[in-house]
Structure 1
Amino acid sequence: MKVRKHYLSKADSQAYFTAYLIDDYKEYQQGVKRPVVLICPGGGFMKLSEREGEPVALTFLQKGYHAIVLHYSIATAQDVRSDIFFRALREVGITVRTLYEKEEQWHVDTSSIILVGFSAGAHLAAFYSNCWSDSEMAKTLDTVSARLKIRAVVLGYPLCDLRILSRFLTDDDSMNIEVKAFLERSIEVICKDKSPGILTLEKLSPVCQVNENTRPAFIWHTAEDEMISVENALEYALQLSRHQIPYELHVFERGVHGLALANEFTAGRPEEINSSCQEWTALMFQWLNEK
C-alpha cells in the first residue's frame, strides 16, 4: 500500500487529502482499476474527527477499495464568517477531479467513486451529491461535470436539514449547554450568520437540493441521536423517494451521535461501542455490491 499526502492548493496548507492506495501487485489483479472511497469526517466544520477518517479508510481497504481521507477547510475563531462551507464543497470537487486525473497512474475505477460522510461531513457529502452536475461547479473547478461525477454517497448520522437543527436549538430547553453552543456555532459557520433566515437555511440544506441528478444514497442513523435528530435522515430519504433516487435507509434504535465504526477501534468512550450499529458497514458493502 502507498500512502500519499496531496495538498489541494499551493497557497493553502490546510486543505489536503491522504490517499491510501493499494499496490498494483504482480501476483493478483495486476492492472485492475479499483473502486475508491472519498471520506469526509465530521466535526461541525470546526474540527475534523480522526475516528471518522483513517479507521474508516482501513475498512474499505480490506474490501479492495482505494481510500481517500479529505482534510477539508474548517473554521477558526478568526474566520468563522468566511465562506467555509462552499470552500469545503469546492475541495470535495477538486479531490474528485484529481481522482479522474490520476485514473491511470493510481489504477482508479472512476465509475466507482463512493463519497462517504459523517455528521457535518455527511452534510457536505450529501450537498455535493446534489450539486456535482451544476455547470457553475464545473466552471469554478475548470473541468466538465462528467469529471466530477460520483457513483453513490454514504451518509452516517447526517445533518441534512438545517431547518430541523435550528428548530431543535430554539425549542429544546433540555439540550446540553455545551452541545447547544457547538451546534449554534456550526450553523453560524455554515450560514455565515448566527440567526439565518429560512431562505438561507433552505439554500444550505441538502434535503432542499435533491434533483434528478442526485446520486443514490446509503443512509444510517440512530433513533436516540442526541445531537443531530434522526429526522434529518428520514427527511432526506423522503426527498430521495419523491425524486425516485435509489436509496437504502437504516435507523438503529440505540446509539449516541458520532459512532464512526461503533467498535473498540474508533470508540473514545464506552457508549461509542455499539454492537448493533457495527452492522452498518456490512449492510453498506452489500448495498454497494448490488448497485
Structure 2
Amino acid sequence: MLCKEIPLQQGCVLQTYIMDPQTSFHVYKKRPAMIICPGGAYLIHATKEGEPIALTFLEKGYNCFVLRYTVGTDREHPETGFNETARYPLQALQLMEAILTVRRHAEEWYIDADRVFVAGFSAGAHVCATVGTRWNDPALLDRLPFAAEPAQVRPTAMVLGYPMLALNPPAFQQQASELQRQQTALVNRVVTGTETPTAAQCDAADLTLRVTTDTVPTFLWHSIDDPVVDCNASMRFIQAMLGCGCNCEFHLYNHGEHGKGLAGPLSAQSAADTDEALHLWVALAEQFLRKIPCP
C-alpha cells in the first residue's frame, strides 16, 4: 500500500491510502477513488471521520485519500489562536486541487479517472457540497492557483453525512448550549469572516441556494435529533435537487445525533457510539455510488 502525504496549496495535505494494483501475477486492477473531508466545525479535523472512513472504503475496493484542509484552530497547539488564513472557500479550492491531483496520477495509481468520488461529514460535507454544486463556477475556478478545466475538478458524485449545508438559523441556535454558541461564532468567522454575519453573508454560504442541474449525484444522510447541524437544510438541499432533476438519495434517521462517523466498532469509543441501523449508511452509499454511470 502507498501511504504518503502530498502537500497541496497553503499548507493543505492529502493523505493517501492506495492499494497495490496487482491483484495476481501480472494482473492489475483500476479502482475508483474516494477523497474524504473530515468534519470538525472548520476548526479541527475529526479523527473518526478521516482514517476510519478511508479504511472502510478501502475494504470496499476504493483507493482512498483524506484531505487535511485548512482549519481555524490547531488541536495540538491551541495556544496559537485563530488561524486567519482559514477563510472559506479556500477549503473548496483545496478539494478541487485534490481531485485534480488524483486524476493526474490516475495511471500511476491505477485509478479510474471517471470515478473520483468525495465524502464529507459536517463541515467537511460543506466543503464537498461546495465543489459538488459549484465545480463549474467561474468565481471559484478563477481563484485556483493553477489552470484547470471544470470537468477536471468535478467529483463524479458525493456522499454527505450530517452535512452543514447552511449556517444554522437563529431559532435553531436558541436551543444550543453556551459551548455550541461559542463554536458557532468561530464557524461563522471561518465561513463569512465575521462572528455575526448578515443575512446576505449567510446566504452566500447557503448551498441549498446553489443547487442547479449541474449538481453532481448525491447520497445524503442525516438525523432528526442532530443538535449541532439543522437537518432542515439537508431536506431543502434534497428538495432543490429533486426540483432540478438531479440524481440523489436521502436517508433521514430518527436517531443519530451528530458526529457518529461510521457508527460502527472501528472508530467507536464505547458501545454507546455504535448504532447498527445508522451504520447501514455505508452499504447504502456504496450501492448508490456503484450505480452512478460513467461520464
Determine if the TM-score, normalized by the shorter chain, exceeds 0.5: yes
The one-character-per-residue Cα deviations of 1:230-273 (angstroms, maximum 9, x if unpaired) are: 11211111111111111000011111200000012212355321
Q: Closer, same or farther in 2 for the Cα pair 1:8/1:166, shift >3 Å? A: farther
Cross-structure match for 2:161: 156
Paired amino acid for 2:96: G
Contact 1:35 1:64 in 2 (8 A): yes
Paired amino acid for 1:262: A
Q: Measure how far apart 1:82 and its partner are.
A: 3.9
Contact 1:126 1:153 in 2 (8 A): yes
Structure 2: gaps (5+ residues): 74-79
* Pair 1:168-2:172 in alignment: yes
Contact 2:156 2:217 in 1 (8 A): yes
Task: Give the alignment partner of residue 18 of structure 2, picking from 17, 21, 43.
Answer: 21
How much identity, in percent, do the aligned residues show?
A: 26
Q: Measure how far apart 1:89 and its partner are.
A: 1.1
Contact 2:23 2:29 in 1 (8 A): no
SS of the counterpart of 2:133? helix
> Partners in 1 of 2:25 and 2:50 — Cα distance?
28
Alignment coverage as a number of residue pairs: 284
Q: Measure how far apart 1:138 and its partner are.
A: 3.4
* Pair 1:92-2:95 in alignment: yes
* Pair 1:2-2:18 in alignment: no
Q: Closer, same or farther in 2 for the Cα pair 1:273/1:244, shift >3 Å? A: same
Q: Measure how far apart 1:30 and its partner are.
A: 3.1
The one-character-per-residue Cα deviations of 1:52-99 (angstroms, maximum 9, x if unpaired) are: 001100111111110000000001364455452221111001101111
Cross-structure match for 2:67: 70
Q: Closer, same or farther in 2 for the Cα pair 1:271/1:29, shift >3 Å? A: farther
> Partners in 2 of 1:31 and 1:143 — Cα distance?
29
Contact 2:162 2:222 in 1 (8 A): yes
Contact 1:156 1:220 in 2 (8 A): yes
Q: Closer, same or farther in 2 for the Cα pair 1:282/1:40, shift >3 Å? A: same
* Pair 1:35-2:35 in alignment: no
State the TM-score, normalized to the length of structure 1.
Answer: 0.92
> Partners in 2 of 1:133 and 1:192 — Cα distance?
24
Q: Measure how far apart 1:134 and its partner are.
A: 1.9
Q: Over aligned residues, Cα RMSD in angstroms? A: 1.8
Cross-structure match for 2:152: 147
Contact 1:45 1:85 in 2 (8 A): no
- Bigger mean CA deviation after superposition, 122-131 or 226-235: 226-235
State the TM-score, normalized to the length of structure 2.
Answer: 0.91
Structure 1: gaps (5+ residues): none
Q: Measure how far apart 1:110 and its partner are.
A: 1.4
Cross-structure match for 1:115: 118
> Partners in 1 of 2:170 and 2:191 — Cα distance?
12
Paired amino acid for 1:57: A
Cross-structure match for 2:229: 228
> Partners in 2 of 1:264 and 1:44 — Cα distance?
24
SS of the counterpart of 1:105? helix
Q: Closer, same or farther in 2 for the Cα pair 1:251/1:5, shift >3 Å? A: same
SS of the counterpart of 2:280? helix
Task: Give the alignment partner of residue 140 of structure 2, picking from 137, 144, 149.
Answer: 137
> Partners in 2 of 1:287 and 1:272 — Cα distance?
25
Cross-structure match for 1:178: 179
Q: Closer, same or farther in 2 for the Cα pair 1:270/1:166, shift >3 Å? A: farther
> Partners in 2 of 1:137 and 1:61 — Cα distance?
30
The one-character-per-residue Cα deviations of 1:162-183 (angstroms, maximum 9, x if unpaired) are: 2x444422x33xx222122212
